[in-house]
Structure 1
Amino acid sequence: MNNKNVRQSALAIALAVAMGASTGASAAVELYNQDGTSFSVDGYFNAFYVNRDDKLADTRDSRIKMGFLPNTIGFNFSKDMGDLTLGGRSSFWTTINDSLDAPTDTAIDVRQFYATVDGDFGQVLIGKDFGLYARSNIFLDEILMGFGSPGLPGGVSFGNIRAGYPYPTPSAQITYRSPDMGGLKIAAGLLDPANTATGTPSDEHAAPRFESEMTYSANLNDVALTGWLNGRYQSSENGATTVDSTGVGYGVKASIAGLTLAASGFTSSGDNPVLIGNGAVSEDDADGFLVQGSYAFGANRVVLSYGETDAEILDLETESTTLGLFHDVNSNFKLVAEYNMYEDRSRTTGATSTEADTIALGAIVTF
């Protein structure tokens, strides 16, 4: 299988727990590979039994839901054209959590639909893909394939979104990625800007949103190290109102034998620290961090995760603690058991708005 087929696949990154934009999906099924042209399909399916104790409402609720990653099917193609390789990916993400809300109308969204041009110069991506800001923060999360903190009814759980990092919203973009330069990789992209001055299409943008990410990987005395730094900037204007949005994400991960330690964080101004999108915001600040440790032994991996977000812009303080056990039945079948404690409160009044403990037992099938 041509590794460039899925070089930018978020699912590939999730499955391989790999860095940024450098890996192919080992679970993908190659359907065609002839005369320099290849086509493959990958899939991710999951469901969790979820039991939640809502401390404020004094209720306990049981549900069958999906985890932090939605159920997904992706299609990848690649074609050698002399000095260039043309590629592309389309992936379709669907919820199973709307079963009773919309019995015959399951929501499907397209988070990736792009083409790539690869050469000695690196890669240019055109189309829709996840953003660069906070990208590695979320894709290198040790509980990415788990459940994490509660989400919205009818949607996915939130993992550590709003409790350690924001979501790298899929956006229309033109992005350049450098070749691997001794473990160093650089990406920079122009993305469709969000309307943050008034939240309406009448906002003016003298320039598109700019996002970038730098990653570095090395192996020092059997210690595998990965570090990253990413950011975004845009300015949105409507009449006398101007909102400048900035954000910086960062992190480091170190692994030796079966032990992995990771720490990441972000700081932003004029950005929604949960979901970046259209909507009027102020230039208030937000920041957060996530610390994690995991240990793998045999077919098992135990994870302890703790994250916080302090958002002046949303008048919100959150904290989320997760203990998880991941067991590989085989290379395509995984079992998950998690216990999560999540709390959020008003940062001005201190009043608690959410306090919930969640037990999640799930199964994941990939191909």
Structure 2
Amino acid sequence: MKNFKNTKLAVAIAAAMGFSLPVGAIVVVGGDNGWEVSFDGNINQFYVWSDPSGRPDNVIGGNMNMSPIAEHQSRFRSGLMPSLFGFNVKAPTWNGLDIGGRISFAGEVNNSNTQNRGYNGGPGMPSQGLVNSSETTGFGGNLEFREAYFTIDGQFGQILMGRTLDVFMGKNILTDQTLFGVGATGDVHGGGFTLGRIGYGYLYPNFNAQLRWTSPDMAGVKLTAAAVDPSQVCGAAGSLVNGYVAASGANCYNTDSTPRAEGMISYARSWKDGSWEVWGSGVWQNFTRNSINQGQIIADGFTPGIENNVWGWSTGSQLRYKNWDFNGSYYSGRGLGSSFLFDADSMDASGHLRRSKGWMAQWGYTFLGHTKLAFSYGTSRQAETGTDQLMSSMGYGAVLKDQQSYTAGIYHDVNSNLKLVAEWTREINEWYGHGNRQTANVVGVGGYFFW
């Protein structure tokens, strides 16, 4: 048996978020036959205080305070990155091939909401309106089967098969400073982990089953192509007679004849005092509207069998020079949604895909060798369609226009295993129409234990 010291924190976090097999967890168990088993993970907790203003009347979407009354709320909860335990195994090298696998589980320290009851609806999401003990469906925090994949490495690069973080916008979230903190929180009564910049500069890529190829390093250039288990595409639903429903699941299409396609190209180089990386990624998915969904408005001459395409692209860059680092990214697309990819507001009530875009900019300075001061701004925006304008004029609610936030934080590494964090975030949500605005200040203080 052999014990190895921790790898750098960045490697541990990349492994925790699902990027490649860890190359050096804190404990590696190996035998004379060449097999190796390793473990990695983290536990984190934050005290989170927030003061969201009341939700405007007659608006659709958004993920802040769902009450019309302003609140001052305290929580003890996990940050953007959940607590995680990962198990890794590597087989003996065979004919130049390295074969390994990873399984991980993720969860949060907090219960479903502040009343310790109700269904945990996922990251930053509300408790589905369960308000009394007779409606309780669970008391504890959520446990997620996050990763299960194996990799084959050789001169051709790497083949990955299984469940892991998606390629499209995966790099955006991994380079976000709030990965180690809290950022935006979503609904103050929600379960799950916080949002960070999800919906405030990039969209959540999610963990999905896929087949992925990554090229060898070609003088700093790498290519990645993935065929991904396709997602349903959801949006609003409505009827000029029976009313309007904005929730996900009321109007979804899930007939897909092909996998979703995702890809990325990146270039990285380093020198004595720094490094630079630039990347671009894309996504495309085809779906067929084979039926009229419940409550859908037929405003576009709906015909069964019509095909449609969801697509998007993203780019970003990160520069490190001495004690400074700068990072920025941008995305744009059609049918992507405002926070979680292909989720509740990807389409309007007629089935038209909404256009959306977003960006973030971030800078940081590390002093005394182990303390980083960082600041970032990000926004996610979506366009209003003709059907959205029609529904709003009839009094059915204004659609979310943009979500933006400012975050300032201090991140202190006590050692390679313990990180202490203090953050402040200002959230601003706006809807189409005059005066439809909601704000919140979020303060998060806590830390991570890594192994």
Kept in 2, the 8 Å contact 1:243–1:270? The answer is no
Q: How far apart, in 1, do the equivalents of 2:313 and 2:263 lie?
A: 10
> 1:52–1:21: structure 2 CA closer, same or farther, 3 Å change rule?
closer
Asked if 1:316 corresponds to 2:316, the answer is: no
Which letter does structure 1 place at the counterpart of 2:172?
A: N
What SS is found at the alignment partner of 1:302? Answer: strand
> 1:344–1:14: structure 2 CA closer, same or farther, 3 Å change rule?
farther
Larger radius of gyration: 2
Higher mean C-alpha displacement, 134-143 vs 287-296: 134-143
2:215 paired residue among 160, 165, 178: 178
Asked if 1:97 corresponds to 2:110, the answer is: yes
Identity %: 30
Deviation string 1:160-212 (CA, Å, 9 cap, x unpaired) is 01010001111110000111111111110000111227868973323210000
Q: Who is 1:343 aligned against?
A: 428
What SS is found at the alignment partner of 2:255? Answer: coil
1:357 paired residue among 428, 441, 448: 441
Which letter does structure 2 place at the counterpart of 1:69?
A: M
Deviation string 1:208-261 (CA, Å, 9 cap, x unpaired) is 100001111112573310111001001110223433100111101111111001
Kept in 1, the 8 Å contact 2:233–2:253? The answer is no
CA deviation after TM superposition for structure 1 residue 24, in Å: 3.4
CA deviation after TM superposition for structure 1 residue 75, in Å: 0.7
What SS is found at the alignment partner of 1:164? Answer: coil
> 1:86–1:271: structure 2 CA closer, same or farther, 3 Å change rule?
same
Q: How far apart, in 2, do the equivalents of 1:309 and 1:202 lie?
A: 24
Deviation string 1:132-173 (CA, Å, 9 cap, x unpaired) is 100101111122111101124011110001010001111110
Give me the TM-score of the superposition, normalised by structure 1. Answer: 0.90
Q: Who is 2:354 aligned against?
A: 284
CA deviation after TM superposition for structure 1 residue 124, in Å: 0.7
Q: How far apart, in 2, do the equivalents of 1:68 and 1:197 lie?
A: 24
Higher mean C-alpha displacement, 234-243 vs 18-27: 18-27
Kept in 2, the 8 Å contact 1:20–1:136? The answer is no
Higher mean C-alpha displacement, 278-287 vs 86-95: 278-287
Q: Who is 2:288 aligned against?
A: 237
| Consecutive unaligned residues in structure 1, runs of 5 or more | 3-10
Q: How far apart, in 2, do the equivalents of 1:184 and 1:319 lie?
A: 33
CA deviation after TM superposition for structure 1 residue 348, in Å: 4.3
Deviation string 1:76-119 (CA, Å, 9 cap, x unpaired) is 11112222111111110112222622675432112211111111
Q: How far apart, in 1, do the equivalents of 2:442 and 2:40 lie?
A: 30
Asked if 1:256 corresponds to 2:321, the answer is: yes
Kept in 1, the 8 Å contact 2:43–2:449? The answer is yes
Kept in 2, the 8 Å contact 1:51–1:360? The answer is yes
Q: How far apart, in 1, do the equivalents of 2:343 and 2:32 lie?
A: 44
What SS is found at the alignment partner of 2:180? Answer: coil
> 1:364–1:19: structure 2 CA closer, same or farther, 3 Å change rule?
closer
Question: What are the residue-to-residue correspondences of 1:131-210 with 2, within 5 Å?
Answer: 131-152=166-187, 153-196=190-233, 203-210=254-261
> 1:232–1:204: structure 2 CA closer, same or farther, 3 Å change rule?
same
> 1:261–1:242: structure 2 CA closer, same or farther, 3 Å change rule?
same
Kept in 1, the 8 Å contact 2:52–2:72? The answer is yes
Q: How far apart, in 2, do the equivalents of 1:33 and 1:291 lie?
A: 47
CA deviation after TM superposition for structure 1 residue 35, in Å: 2.3
> 1:186–1:192: structure 2 CA closer, same or farther, 3 Å change rule?
same
Q: Who is 1:301 aligned against?
A: 372
Higher mean C-alpha displacement, 96-105 vs 227-236: 96-105
Q: How far apart, in 2, do the equivalents of 1:128 and 1:277 lie?
A: 18
| Consecutive unaligned residues in structure 2, runs of 5 or more | 3-8, 55-68, 119-137, 236-248, 291-303, 385-398
